[in-house]
Structure 1
Amino acid sequence: MIKPLLLAMLFAMLLAVTAVQAADKAPLRYVVKTDGLLSTDPQQPSGFQQKMGAALAHQLGRPVRYVLLPRTRIMAALEGGGGDLLCSYLPTWMPGDVDWTRAFIPVSEVLLTMPRVTPPASLADLRGKRLGTVLGFRYPTLEQALGKDFIRDDAPNSALSFRKWAAGRFDHLVTTRNVITQHAADGALPPGYHVMPILEVKTMCAVSRKSDITVAEVNAAINALEKNGALTAILKLR
């Protein structure tokens, strides 16, 4: 029978070997969107993106390096081999010459309406109305439903789009359910606001075709995170 001290030593040696093996491999270059604003402080990935990148890198047996880029440069980096992986998107949101993993990150796209106006009964009621949106982001459901009557009011990022909505610049904001949850928690939402679901979907990760990491490897890493329960904890950070 293995004594507890010997067992602990063996486990420590195994961790050390794993760390050495990971160090021998090139880092996972995990691409993260920045808001594109000039700032004296270096931007950092969100808690969700940090944990997702680190967890996938661990499952792949690699260290992680975050590649922070504005949205307009993300796909070029993946197509050109300047990054390996981008998560929480769909091909219709970020079209390009890349491969995609299985869908596994739930996203709820919603319309947030000010209490001072009558909430829309359907997407058709939004024809010709200014909608708060994020620069460079595509909204296929609204594009299809409204066509040329889809009037965007872009902000550089979702936080500034929310601030414009809260300041009364427009009555309707296109955002995600988790953004509403965050602002409800800090008391930033006016009483009587209305939420209308637009799209319920599970997003994916885009894998560069010039990376030495394959879609099959990333899918296996996702499956492992799902099986060991880590994915559930990470998704709560969104």
Structure 2
Amino acid sequence: MTALATLTTQAADKPPLRYVEKVDNLLTAAPQPPTTFQDTLGAALARQLGRPVQYVRLPRNRIMGALENGDGDILCSYLPEWLPGDVEWTRAFIPISEVVVTSPRVPAPATVADLRGKRLGTVLGFHYPELEKILGQDYIRDDAPSSNLSMRKWLAGRFDYLVLPRNLIDKQIANGKVPPGYHILTVYEVKTKCAVSRTSDIGVATFNSAIEALEKSGELPKMLKLR
């Protein structure tokens, strides 16, 4: 038996890693699938743990409940302040840059404070603690079910200021979907973590070891480019 076949047999003997993924518009005819990065990270963590992977794909409002109820093991690319819940957290390792994209038809804000009283395109159920802290009572949201739909509303002129992760707007720019003259203001840059179910038979320390192995092998930097 080859080494690969042995590893495959060993993985099959263990219960799967239940990797929770957010899927927007899950009940519609054209749901927004998870990113290639999420699928690849789930498979890579499972491989490091010697397990098969099982993707648990749920709408945003059910992902934390899946971990709390023991229906999933891990959910990645979040922070506790973004998605509160009775879970444990791995160390931070996935860089995220949150930005505000301004329409070319209005003056660009110099700081986040300049967005007081402005309508901001946001995603339903998602928390933006930095905006909440700086803008206070002048924080005005215009929610959409997903980032893609929020982008469409912005392009249609429903609001002039769109809040997105930098990697998502970079993709839209590369695809020629952002009109010339736009402005990007960075709200904050941070490294996100993975939430781990307290009922999982895989502990946070074990996940952290798997993450460290992916970093040392050079696999993680390659995966981050898939976002």
TM interval, short-chain normalised:
over 0.9
With normalisation by structure 1, the TM-score equals 0.93
Q: 2:61 maps to which residue?
A: 72
CA deviation after TM superposition for structure 1 residue 139, in Å: 0.1
Counterpart position of 1:175: 164
CA distance in 2: counterparts of 1:41 and 1:122, whole angstroms:
37
In the other structure, the counterpart of 2:191 is 202
Q: Normalized against structure 2, the TM-score is what?
A: 0.97
Q: Secondary structure at the match of 1:192?
A: coil
Q: Which runs of 5+ in 2 are unaligned?
A: none
User: Greater Rg, structure 1 or structure 2?
Assistant: 1
Match of 1:9 in 2: none
Of all paired residues, the percent bearing the same amino acid is 66
Residue 52 in structure 1 maps to residue 10 in structure 2: no
Q: 5+ residue gaps in structure 1?
A: 1-11
User: Helix, strand or coil: the match of 1:58?
Assistant: helix
The alignment status of 1:112 with 2:101, answered yes or no, reads: yes
Deviation at 1:22, TM superposition (A): 0.5
Give distance in 2, aligned partners of 1:37 and 1:68: 9
Cα RMSD (Å) of the superposition?
A: 1.2
Q: What is aligned with 1:186?
A: 175
Find the counterpart in structure 2 of residue 101 from structure 1: 90
**Pair 1:91-2:84 in alignment:** no
> Residue in 2 aligned with 1:123?
112
Residue-pair matches, total: 227
Deviation at 1:216, TM superposition (A): 0.6
* Alignment correspondent of 2:142: 153
Shift of residue 38 of structure 1? 2.7
**CA 1:135/1:118 → structure 2, altered by over 3 Å: closer, same or farther?**
same
Runs (4+) of structure 1 moved beyond 2 Å?
Answer: 36-45
Distance 1:203 1:139 in 2: 14
